[in-house]
Amino acid sequence: MPGREPALIGRHSERATLDRLLAGARSERGQVLVLRGEAGIGKSALLEYVDAQARDFRVARAAGVESEQVMAYAGLHQLCAPFLDRLDRLPEPQRDALGTAFGLSSGPRPTRFLVGLAVLTLLADVAEEQPLLCLVDDVQWLDRMSEVVLTFVARRLLAERIAVVFALRDGGHEPGLAGLPELPVGGLGEAEADALLASVVKGPLDGRVRDRLLAETHGNPLALLELPRAWTAADGFGPSGTVPLAGRIEQCFVKQLEPLPADTRRLLLIAAAEPLGDATLLWGAAGELGLGADPATAAEATGLIEFGRRIRFRHPLVRSAVYRSASPRDRQDVHRALAAVTDPERDPDRRAWHRAQATVSPDEDVAADLERSADRARARGGLVAAAAFFEQAALLTPGPARRVDRELAAAALKRDAGALDEALGLLDSVAAGPPDAGRAADAERLRGQIAFDRRRGGDAARLLLGAAERLTPLDANRARETYLEALAAALWAGGDAAGLVAAAEATRAAPPAPVPPRAVDLVLDALVTRFTGGHQAAAPLLAKALAAVRDLDVGAEDTGRALWLLGNRAGGMIATEAADFAAARAFAARQVQLARDAGALVQLQFALNFLAVNELLAGELTAAAASAEEDRVIADLTGNAPVGYAAMLLEAFRGREAQAAELFEDTARQASARGQLRLVSLADYGRAVLYNGLGRHDAALAAARRVFDHDVVGFQGLATAELAEAASRTGDEDLLLAAATRSSERAKAAGTAEARGLDARVRALAGTGADRSYRESIECLERTTLRVDLARTHLLYGEWLRREGRRVDARTHLHTAHEQLSAMGLAAFADRARRELQATGETARKRTAEPTGELTSQEFQIARLAADGYSNPEIGTRLFLSPRTVEWHLRKIFTKLGISSRRQLRDTALAGAGPGL
């Protein structure tokens, strides 16, 4: 118990590790540790040890309970309950999110990561006054949302006086804990095991019995304590063989239950079925079943349970032994009694759960009660809990049609929660239900969305097209949205134009757009025209669709779904296909902010990569690196793979051949396996940039031609410029002419400064009035965000001028190119400019690196936000950090930049360095 050091035998190494953990937290270095081992191995005892050592800490505790897994945030509420009087000290969005999650207030559905940030801020606030120790036992039985939030918090500890210790049973499937510092807890050594055995076995012990006990328990302390209780001369220690040790320990507890009177066992069963340990509920249910106080005396005498304000079993295996050894009828009676005494106003979800456990045959009243609980769980952000309630409701639904409707709802929630295999399993049950056209369409659409989530673009496109066809006679607007989802999936899957044209041709079957058309309708029509009629025919529609997306009111109820669809699957392609890179940059920044505000982490990963590419094109490589790093951090937090294409392109722009080549190969291999051939084309575009920078134009030509021949949507103009440069250097006149023809057509259709600037450069490379065309390209690109292409145009113009013998003019442009490319970090292109300057007889001065180049990606993000005037709590909210951690980073940033205040930070180039954070 707290305040009293447990008597541990051995465990010297484990205790030393826990002592160091507390010392680190005292020194303002956040600490986390996962104790992992089999049941009974001593994890809980080590938690008690660290609790006793933390006399100067405030201690918060939580423990997973197997039957509580269906209750969203149940474990998290245990941990945070002592601190809820501090909610008013949180930033308003965090306060509202946590209050809604805990059912203390009503509001918009909170995201799990906004709840996580709220918990991090809350615990950090507590730790400002006193170091904080958080102990979480039986993590394998935590409800999913609590596990996600607590592991999120553990991964974000840095400068807080907080230590978190998790205890996890071996075999618990907790992917969120992967990668956290871990301490495996094994059995006691022979001498220590012998000492523990001697402490519980009074009197002499036959040597053979002792040896058998030590051999069979493998040093497991709980087994050493409990197996001797089960020993008899007649049957020894009970069954062994293939029975796991935890099962044998549980059987020991069952043997201790068998001699107890029936009323005593029933009282223990009430305690086992009531996960809160609430004495009021226990005695209320006991009264419902006609039990008095006498059974409690007999139960407590066994040492298996302790009655008080909270009911506590000696070990979780005691609870499971009591519950599993009871008959089904007794369990139903107990749950029925607990439902009767559970307040339907204060705790309706637990009451509904007890009612369900007491019900054997289908019962619509109970099923409807569970559905209401599902709706409440969903409103609180507990998607896994909501899915479980819907699934249980389906099992108890008498009508087959209503049953499969609830299974479909559960499948959709499981998909939203990331449980894709479980969602597909439920969809199989839906398919076996009564035929219904609308339900079949919804199920197929959900299968397609799951395929897209798994990055299986080809399968997703096929399924979504089928769903759209089914929806066409039923719901025209939803049919068009599904067609657009299918087309977006085909875009990611398609490396060749034929596949995209086939998908677009199938989309011609979509019902006509409503009047007036929505943004989603304009996007769909523009993309269909692009694939079936070509870029020139689609250009006016693309511009109109892009304008509609830009003007979309994100607060309008009927546009929210379309916005996400556009933003994450089609919006970026439209902007770049229309050669409006200023719009693409602004749109990317807005998508990042929307995803961040909503806590939509998967969408945020895609949006960050889109933003990073635009930052690369603008020459902001440090900002792009920060966006790519955030994609990686989110992947670590969620267990998803990074989207990753921005990181790949970043290495290409930097000219780092070894790093880039590895990423190209990894991306191409994984994307091909998943049917994401668009990423293969992106890798080829990156290769073209890399090898043009390194002067290996033959390799650049091969890569750029693959993108050019596939007519890849979204970055075709950029790839065409790469192809023209490579073709001009390798003497491939036919490809250079083809590139110039396509570039001219697109520039006329798009009419943007970006398209005209790139086209003028291609024309110069093709020899069409090179001097005039290069100057035209520079003039156009100076009005755009394409700073990399502007600098590269100076480089190409300088190279051409030197070859023409105009050395003085060449030096002007080559100096400009070298300065700009060096400042942006495009080392390979900068080196090309340096060599060209040397060829003119002038040595390029080595440019001093910008001090911001010393900052890490995360430090750059923090510095940029601080320079733009954001407070520490605001920065923390955006980057999922506590205010104290932000302050810790800022101290490091000031040291690296040689400054001492935010005011000086605002005078650096960081202020206003670009949107998106």
pLDDT digits (tens, 9 = 90+) for 162-192: 999 999 998 755 556 877 899 999 988 888 8
Q: Between β-strands 162-169 and 58-63, what pairing exists: parallel, antiparallel or unpaired? A: unpaired
Q: Per-residue pLDDT tens for 443-501? A: 999 999 999 888 787 888 899 999 999 999 999 999 999 999 898 888 877 655 566 78
Task: Give the pLDDT confidence score for residue 420 in this predicted structure.
Answer: 86
556 pLDDT more than 50: no
Distance CA 649, CA 14 (A): 45
Distance CA 282, CA 479 (A): 53
Distance CA 168, CA 140 (A): 6
Average pLDDT, the chain: 87
329 pLDDT more than 90: yes
Cis, peptide link before residue 93, omega less than 30° from 0 = no
Measured CA to CA in angstroms, residue 658 lies from 650, 664, 886 at distances of 13, 10, 34
850 pLDDT more than 70: no
Task: Give the pLDDT confidence score for residue 183 in this predicted structure.
Answer: 95
Q: Per-residue pLDDT tens for 740-798? A: 999 999 999 999 999 999 999 999 999 989 999 999 999 999 999 999 999 999 999 99
For the residues 623-637, what does the mean pLDDT come to? Answer: 81
Q: Between β-strands 312-313 and 305-306, what pairing exists: parallel, antiparallel or unpaired? A: antiparallel
For the residues 351-373, what does the mean pLDDT come to? Answer: 95
**How many other C-beta atoms lie within 10 A of the C-beta of residue 178?**
11
The tokens for 559 are 């546009």
Measured CA to CA in angstroms, residue 224 lies from 193, 200, 229 at distances of 7, 9, 9
pLDDT grade, residue 914 (50/70/90)?
very low
Q: Per-residue pLDDT tens for 419-446? A: 888 999 999 999 999 999 999 999 999 9
Helix, strand and coil content of the chain, in percent to the nearest 5, comes to 70, 5, 25
Distance CA 682, CA 372 (A): 47
Task: Give the pLDDT confidence score for residue 494 in this predicted structure.
Answer: 66
pLDDT grade, residue 559 (50/70/90)?
very low
**Spatial contact of 863 and 875, defined as CB atoms under 8 Å apart:** no
The tokens for 356 are 């369900």
Task: Give the pLDDT confidence score for residue 158 in this predicted structure.
Answer: 86
Distance CA 451, CA 458 (A): 9
Q: Per-residue pLDDT tens for 83-132? A: 999 999 998 889 999 999 998 988 888 877 789 989 999 999 999 999 99
Task: Give the pLDDT confidence score for residue 235 in this predicted structure.
Answer: 44
**Spatial contact of 158 and 189, defined as CB atoms under 8 Å apart:** no
* Residue range 851-906, CATH number: 1.10.10.10
H or E stretch at 313: strand 312-313
Q: Which residues pair with 183 in a beta bridge?
A: 35
Task: Give the pLDDT confidence score for residue 469 in this predicted structure.
Answer: 95
Phi, psi of 309 (to 5 degrees): -60, -35
User: How do the domains of the chain map onto residue ranges?
Assistant: 12-184, 190-257, 262-436, 851-906
Task: Give the pLDDT confidence score for residue 166 in this predicted structure.
Answer: 97
Distance CA 324, CA 346 (A): 29
Q: Per-residue pLDDT tens for 497-507? A: 566 788 888 88
Q: What is the pTM of this model?
A: 0.79
**Spatial contact of 778 and 786, defined as CB atoms under 8 Å apart:** no
Helix, strand or coil, per DSSP, at residue 36: strand
59 pLDDT more than 90: yes
Distance of CA 784 to the CA centre of its chain: 34
The tokens for 653 are 């722009």
% residues pLDDT > 90 (the chain): 51
Please give the residue that has the higher pLDDT: either 418 or 524.
524
The tokens for 778 are 């520079």
Give the class (CATH, top level) of 12-184.
Answer: alpha beta
Helix, strand or coil, per DSSP, at residue 154: helix
Q: DSSP alpha helices (H): ranges in 510-559?
A: 519-533, 535-550
Q: Between β-strands 58-63 and 132-137, what pairing exists: parallel, antiparallel or unpaired? A: parallel
Measured CA to CA in angstroms, residue 741 lies from 501, 720, 737, 738, 769 at distances of 22, 10, 6, 5, 15
